[in-house]
Structure 1
């Protein structure tokens, strides 16, 4: 199972070897200063935005890899029927959101909120803005 770790000044999504293979991606590293919000999403499917770009998606089974949407891309390592830690990142980051199922989501989120230097106070994930119609 994926883990969210803080190593020095970085937030790391640590993947197992099979998650790396399934997600077609290695461990994800972002500066801890890029963390904007940390939330726990009780409904796992709400953490998935956009469509699969790279990785594995088994409906009702597993979603791991990069998901794309009109506002950018997210990295997800989500298992169904479990709460998900959602880490919203600042625009300078390669991803807009990291969504990871962890063994203890509340404790993980609390630790990240404590360690992130400049985090916003809201605990609710903001929706992606809808692009205007071009028709």
Structure 2
């Protein structure tokens, strides 16, 4: 399971030694925060795969890891079985157009990206846990009840 670190300028996906070996990737994945255009949560990341591993590992339904190249696209993928995942679309990144990886912290990532981050890298779960709870001011919405028959 990847660890997600975030600061004011970048998102870093920290890979374990096993994940590095499976993905044929020596370093963590770092993307500038301003290149992130969309973050989507999904229950089935396999439907988001496009292209073929180059280099990478692929055991259908069990593991997809590494760089995946398709028609004009390059994605970094780290998917394990059918677990909750996150899909991050990038625009302007030098290496990738999309990141797809299995993590149970996808919701924390989407929340942390909306908050002001610190200058130092911090785990997205810690950022969300220490953030103040937002208070929504304004009119409350009326309760809509069905009409009797």
Q: Same fold (TM over 0.5)?
A: yes
CA distance in structure 2 between the partners assigned to 1:58 and 1:115 by the alignment: 39
SS at match of 2:21: helix
5+ residue gaps, structure 1, are: 117-135
Q: Which residue of 2 aligns with 1:129?
A: none
CA distance in structure 1 between the partners assigned to 2:116 and 2:57 by the alignment: 31
Could you tell me how far 1:107 is from its partner in structure 2? 2.2
Distance change >3 Å, CA 92–CA 44, structure 1 → 2: closer
Distance change >3 Å, CA 103–CA 91, structure 1 → 2: same
SS at match of 1:109: helix
SS at match of 1:112: helix
5+ residue gaps, structure 2, are: 118-149
CA RMSD in angstroms, aligned pairs only: 1.8
Q: Which residue of 2 aligns with 1:47?
A: 48
Q: Which residue of 2 aligns with 1:21?
A: 21
* Structure 2 length-normalised TM: 0.70
Q: Which residue of 2 aligns with 1:2?
A: 2
Aligned length, in residue pairs:
116
* Residue deviations 1:27-73 (CA, integer Å, cap 9, x gap): 11111111111111222212211111111111121111000011220
CA distance in structure 1 between the partners assigned to 2:7 and 2:16 by the alignment: 17
